[in-house]
Amino acid sequence: MRTIETQVNVTSDRRLDIQLPEDIETGQYQVVIVINPQTTTNTTPSKHQLNQLAGKIEAFKDVDAVTWQQETRGEESEDFLAIAGIWENRNITAETLYKEAWKK
């Protein structure tokens, strides 16, 4: 199974045309289409209703949300700079990452 994410235009006759990558073989496939309307008029993200409650619930006034999330997820507070050198002396570029992630 492979996921391909792209923008398409639906025509007035409710059709769409998709150009697939060259490595997709011809034949029959099961295809799932997720319709996620794209609007061009609103470029600013709307505020989520839950965010409007921030600081208003008395029971949570002394809770540090970031610390709570880290503890809930089992994350340990690591010193960011302690791991800063892990990529030293490695040839890592956008091109090498692309080639490694999308091997043919």
Give residue limits of the domains in the chain: 49-101
Instruction: Count CB-CB contacts under 10 A for residue 49.
Output: 7
Tokens 């791991």 -> residue = 83
pLDDT at site 13: 92
Cα–Cα distance measured from residue 22 to residue 38, given in angstroms and rounded to the nearest whole number: 27
Tens-digit pLDDT string for the chain (104 aa): 888 888 888 889 999 888 888 888 999 998 888 888 776 655 555 566 766 777 777 777 777 777 777 777 776 656 666 666 766 777 777 787 777 777 66
Q: At 19, list the tokens.
A: 């150009």
Cα–Cα distance measured from residue 78 to residue 68, given in angstroms and rounded to the nearest whole number: 15
Tokens 């002394």 -> residue = 62
Q: What is the dihedral of CA 94, 38, 34, 3, to 10 degrees?
A: -10
pLDDT at site 92: 76
